[in-house]
Structure 1
Amino acid sequence: MALEELLDKVGGLGKFQILQMALTFPFYMIVVCHSLLENFTAAVPGHRCWVHILDNAIVSDNDTGILSPDVLLRISIPLDSNFKPEKCRHFLHPQWQLLHLNGTFPNMTDLDTEPCVDGWVFDHSLFSFTIVTEWDLVCDHQSQKSMVQSLFMAGMLVGSFIYGHLSDRFGRKLILRCCLLQLAISGICAAFAPTFLIYCLLRFWSGCSAVAIVSNNSMLIVAWVRAQSKATVITLIACALSIGQMMLGGLAFVFREWCTLQLVVSVPFFLTALVTAPFIRWLVESARWLIITNKPDEGLKGLRIVAHRNGMKNAEATLNMEGLRATMQEQLEAAQTKTTVFDLFRTPNLRKRICLLSFARFANTVPYFGIFMNLQHFGSNIFLFQVIFGALTISARCFALLVLNHMGRRLTQMLLMFLVGLFILANMFVPQEMQTLRLTLASVGMGCVAAAVSSNSVHNSELMPTLLRAKASGLNMMASRCGAALAPLLMTVVVYLPTLPWIIYGVCLILAGLLILLLPETRNMPLLDTIQDVENK
């Protein structure tokens, strides 16, 4: 906690912090594009079976030239319950008698059909090519489409655990630099993946690095911001993610081929990796982490750099080892003890905090990704929906900042999670025909859940001690990734009860909102540095 005094001396929110955010915000925007990329690269276009009489150019030109494509389609593809051509079956033989029914519809179950044995014909009007058309991920293979997104989320789950540990051991800057290069390589290689399996493995690898880029960037920024401004800075970080969501909608509208879009969101990381030296030099390693890991000389050097960049010349003269030891004696003594992720669960107060915060993050993430990963359910213009949802989350996160600064962390989270839960449960009683109302409720709920996630991030950073903050952030992110991976799986229970997934979403959110009240309030409180600080509080 004593480091807050030093931050006030070197400038808790000055030129250095603003420039650091300006340098790192573009990476948030591009990383979130990777997280939601399958909304577009794995979009499912309209499709039907490839049939010889209709799609073989030689046959169509010579033998059936007097028949229109619509007529050939009618005798080749059965109709579904909505009187649309079936997507996964075709007639075993052309049904010429269907040409003489004068608009009546026979019982299609009496006619012999079979699955698509010769492939599919896809509608390329919305997307030129997607991974669905590349590897025929439809009909019996449609579950493989969701596997890609699940593997990316699983990569984020694994990466948050591995890189959280490595960041606490080797520092935020080194791991950030490695992950920028890793995401560049895996993203570019994914655009040229020869098989679906290799593509899935590369997306898993991308997920591992994407989560580390977000978490390490956040820790580097937040570590140099005074307590009174942390909520504002974390909200700005969340808004950068929302801008990235909007940017993805625009990029996907321009680049309709999946491999081109994959390259567009990956090449910037590769270019950054090539010129990363000046970029990394501007970032300063967390003084908290340096001091806590028994590197006070480097921590003191970082404090002087920040004071110089913020124009605090008087502070540079007073920053010396004697003053540092006098100010942070307790933290320097704690630095002699090595910590592991299990230390988060050894003491009662810290164990309660990490469990409740992780459950709240999990409960928030499930409906967030349940909606965001299924934009095609809201209509055909998924580019517009992506932009709208991004804009709504920006507004909601700014609103959450105002509420956080007036109502505190606990009440804000509880209010937002209650609202999301109520919107989800209310949507169950809205008929499917009322699409506008359903979309409105989903949009407002999306905004509230984004604001709740931002509030949870603020609360998490203020409740966890510096000694374990990266590990706690990694564990909190793991809970988030578990929720993201579970979101599409929960939708499979609709075969038992159509409203069951939404009941689970809503009840979990309301329960998590109540449990948040068991955590202490942290508004305008200094950050904690050691486990003992947590237990003393």
Structure 2
Amino acid sequence: MTPGNCAAAFSAQMAGEENFKEELRSQDASRNLNQHETAGHPHSRSLEMLLHRLRAVHTKQDDKFANLLDAVGEFGTFQQRLVALTFIPSIMSAFFMFADHFVFTAQKPYCNTSWILAVGPHLSEAQQLNLTIPQAPNGSFLTCLMYLPVPWNLDSIIQFGLNDTDTCQDGWIYPAAKKRSLINEFDLVCGMETKKDTAQIMFMAGLLIGSLIFGLITDKMGRYPAILLSLLGLILFGFGTAFVNSFHLYLLFRFGISQSVVGYAISSISLATEWLVGEHRAHAIILEHCFFAVGSMLLTGIAYSLPHWRLLFLVGGVLVIPLISYIWILPESPRWLMMKGKVKEAKQVLCYAASVNKKTIPSNLLDELQLPRKKVTRASVLDFCKNRQLCKVTLVMSCVWFTISYTYFTLSLRMRELGVSIHFRHMVPSIMEMPARLCCIFILQQIGRKWSLAVTLLQAIIWCLLLLFLPEGEDGLRLKWPRCLATELKSVTILVLTLGEFSLAATVTVFFLYTAELLPTVLRATGLGLVSLASAAGAILSLTIISQTPSLLPIFLCCVLAIVAFSLSSLLPETRDQPLSDSLDHSSQMSFQKDVAPDLSSDGSFWNKVKDMTTEDTSSDDMSEEAAKNVILNAQILRLDPYPVSNPALKQFNKEEANSQAPCGPGPQTILGWN
């Protein structure tokens, strides 16, 4: 080995040690907090933590972009700004997504009988209704019938009354209406009520088509143009809805808004996933979903105070206009640029991010992005059928996503059947979603993506099973139970429904992150589009079943689907501390802990034998990466042979360890096959 190569190898070795030392220092606080908890098994816990650190280091060595992002700044000013940029669009996505629920305010209509004012201009509203509107046997006015006009004077009409009835001829009036809604704007009454469901179906259809379109656009054109296109859709269709002059035009604009909402969700998740590493990625997606809940709360408050439905969309349109500035401040994903062969653009974006973070990227790391012999990675939606592993993962994720969406919409519709006010139905679950999503930070850090998904799905199963034993609607409560008991059962049912939505909100957040990490960069957005398509299908099925079968069947299907999804989720691989896959030929790596770690459930005698080495090596923050690997190797040897003094493998290891003290000597990395 030449002196230059020796010096380079020694520099690389020292750089690896410094990186590992810095990583261990960052975990010092959490290690001190856990000391009391792990007092019963200090050596097991310390070795487990050590294994976790080594697994993270090993992962970063395999992921060149992880090394580059470390040099750029793992979560510096640039990444913080990127995460903050997702907040306002998330708020507005929720605002426009749920606006439908507040513009169809129920109104009591009556036929417009202003013809009688020509013969009795001084009639009060009550007198006008008494003379021109038929009454039901219980004394209430019929909403869809009127007495036909007659050429009589007012005294004759009062004396003899009117007899001939017909449907409303001149539209409807809404005397008790306090707000202007779509119902009294376009007269969606007397057989036209189904148009309200048409608006929901049109919105879901937009989600279906938008999932496919924006998934393809995001992977073909890039994350940056897809986000700008979706934001443009929010501005045009959101603001433009306030000026529609027909219900059919309103449906068209809602169709466009739904595509923009799902397009932004897909492209922004892809961008955040590819710019951030480790737990920062999870935290960013969780915060984005928290601000989605903030948007729902903001919508509830504004809708409650505004007297006209058009003002609601005007306010939302004004709030979304500043998003035009994203044209100049939003970055593109360097991973996507590399997969498309745009090496120069990828370097420029990375260097800009480093300059914002006041960092300098070593030239050797940038040189690793030079891939002259590697062709541009090409992929299409057909690869979801051709690639067996990708097909299996996508099918499982689609089934889980379908279940989550169907269950969430079923619980929301069940809440509506109980007669709960629309503002309560949106405000309380939105408030509950905030802690539900924030709890994901803890569970993702402690048990990983796979088990977090399983835990949240299990909670949803429990709440759905409880709903099978509770009354299904307000009418059923009044008919089957005494009034006092019916009130208590209604409160219990509302509580269980709210807790079910709480669990599903956490499930949605975990699964969005999990899905983005499972899919390769070249097809990440397309895959997110496919699973979002399954989500829209689940919502449509929920609307259909609830409207056709008002019984326990929808809740029973929730239980069955949730159990199936819980079972299928066990087939998915864990992605925590694993490098993001960029191309289709990227194979899932085995867990580092499985490969090199001893069994952490071993008996106490094993830990007594490694007591000194684990305590001594893990108590210091200055421990190098090589020293940590030595601890693992010694632990393996001790696990195989309880008498280390006579173990020839340990003698050989000690000999190799002594040789590793030279700058270019064969270190333990060579023994373990890590180089």
Q: TM-score, normalised by structure 1?
A: 0.85
- Assess, with a 3 A threshold, how the Cα gap between structure 1 residues 68 and 513 changes in structure 2: closer, same or farther: same
1:292 corresponds to which of 323, 333, 339:
339
1:500 corresponds to which of 539, 546, 553:
553
Mapped pair 1:361 → 2:401 = yes
> Match of 2:107?
46
Which amino acid is 1:412 matched to?
Answer: S
SS of structure 1 residue aligned to 2:86: helix
> Match of 2:189?
138
Tell me the distance in 2 between the aligned counterparts of 1:522 and 1:350: 14
Which amino acid is 1:477 matched to?
Answer: S
> Match of 2:134?
76
Which amino acid is 2:260 matched to?
Answer: S
Tell me the distance in 2 between the aligned counterparts of 1:510 and 1:443: 20
Which amino acid is 1:445 matched to?
Answer: G
1:311-350 alignment runs, 5 A limit: 311-313=358-360, 315=361, 317-318=362-363, 321-325=366-370, 336-350=376-390
> Match of 1:435?
490
- Assess, with a 3 A threshold, how the Cα gap between structure 1 residues 214 and 75 changes in structure 2: closer, same or farther: closer
Tell me the distance in 1 between the aligned counterparts of 2:312 and 2:585: 49
Identity of aligned residues (%): 27
Tell me the distance in 2 between the aligned counterparts of 1:344 and 1:90: 57
Q: Is 2:273–2:517's contact at 8 Å kept on the other side of the alignment?
A: no
Tell me the distance in 2 between the aligned counterparts of 1:49 and 1:334: 72
Which amino acid is 1:522 matched to?
Answer: T
Question: How far has the Cα of 1:320 moved from its partner?
Answer: 5.9
1:123-522 alignment runs, 5 A limit: 125=177, 128-273=179-324, 276=325, 279-313=326-360, 315=361, 317-318=362-363, 321-325=366-370, 336-372=376-412, 376-379=416-419, 381-431=421-471, 432=477, 433=486, 434-494=489-549, 498-522=551-575
Question: How far has the Cα of 1:371 moved from its partner?
Answer: 4.1
Q: Is 1:249–1:386's contact at 8 Å kept on the other side of the alignment?
A: yes
- Assess, with a 3 A threshold, how the Cα gap between structure 1 residues 334 and 359 changes in structure 2: closer, same or farther: farther
Tell me the alpha carbon deviations over residues 437-490 of structure 1, each in whole angstroms, 9 at most, x when there is no partner: 111111111111111111111110111111211111111221122222332112
Tell me the distance in 1 between the aligned counterparts of 2:132 and 2:435: 49
Question: How far has the Cα of 1:164 moved from its partner?
Answer: 1.4
Q: Is 2:133–2:145's contact at 8 Å kept on the other side of the alignment?
A: no
Tell me the distance in 2 between the aligned counterparts of 1:507 and 1:86: 45
Q: Is 2:410–2:542's contact at 8 Å kept on the other side of the alignment?
A: yes
Unaligned runs of 5+ in 2: 1-62, 150-162, 472-476, 478-485, 591-675
1:63-102 alignment runs, 5 A limit: 72=130, 76-78=134-136, 85=140, 88-90=143-145
Tell me the alpha carbon deviations over residues 281-311 of structure 1, each in whole angstroms, 9 at most, x when there is no partner: 3222101000011111111111111112122
Give the total of aligned pairs. Answer: 500
Q: How well do the aligned residues superpose, as a CA RMSD in angstroms?
A: 2.9
Tell me the distance in 2 between the aligned counterparts of 1:320 and 1:172: 24
Question: How far has the Cα of 1:333 moved from its partner?
Answer: 6.2
> Match of 1:531?
584
SS of structure 2 residue aligned to 1:297: helix
Q: Is 1:20–1:282's contact at 8 Å kept on the other side of the alignment?
A: no
Tell me the distance in 2 between the aligned counterparts of 1:41 and 1:319: 58
Tell me the distance in 2 between the aligned counterparts of 1:124 and 1:59: 24
Tell me the distance in 2 between the aligned counterparts of 1:68 and 1:202: 39
- Assess, with a 3 A threshold, how the Cα gap between structure 1 residues 213 and 8 changes in structure 2: closer, same or farther: same
Q: Is 2:133–2:147's contact at 8 Å kept on the other side of the alignment?
A: no
Moved over 6 A (4+): 91-94, 111-114
Q: Is 2:269–2:516's contact at 8 Å kept on the other side of the alignment?
A: no
Which amino acid is 1:236 matched to?
Answer: L
Tell me the alpha carbon deviations over residues 12-44 of structure 1, each in whole angstroms, 9 at most, x when there is no partner: 22211111222221111011111111110123x
Question: How far has the Cα of 1:374 moved from its partner?
Answer: 7.5
- Assess, with a 3 A threshold, how the Cα gap between structure 1 residues 84 and 13 changes in structure 2: closer, same or farther: farther
Q: Is 1:89–1:113's contact at 8 Å kept on the other side of the alignment?
A: no
Q: Is 1:424–1:502's contact at 8 Å kept on the other side of the alignment?
A: yes
Q: Is 1:408–1:521's contact at 8 Å kept on the other side of the alignment?
A: yes
Question: How far has the Cα of 1:364 moved from its partner?
Answer: 0.3
Q: Is 1:48–1:85's contact at 8 Å kept on the other side of the alignment?
A: no
Tell me the distance in 2 between the aligned counterparts of 1:137 and 1:264: 24
> Match of 1:102?
none
Tell me the distance in 2 between the aligned counterparts of 1:6 and 1:286: 13
Tell me the alpha carbon deviations over residues 188-235 of structure 1, each in whole angstroms, 9 at most, x when there is no partner: 222111111111112111222222122222222222111232222211
Tell me the distance in 2 between the aligned counterparts of 1:191 and 1:243: 22
Q: TM-score, normalised by structure 2?
A: 0.69
Unaligned runs of 5+ in 1: 95-110
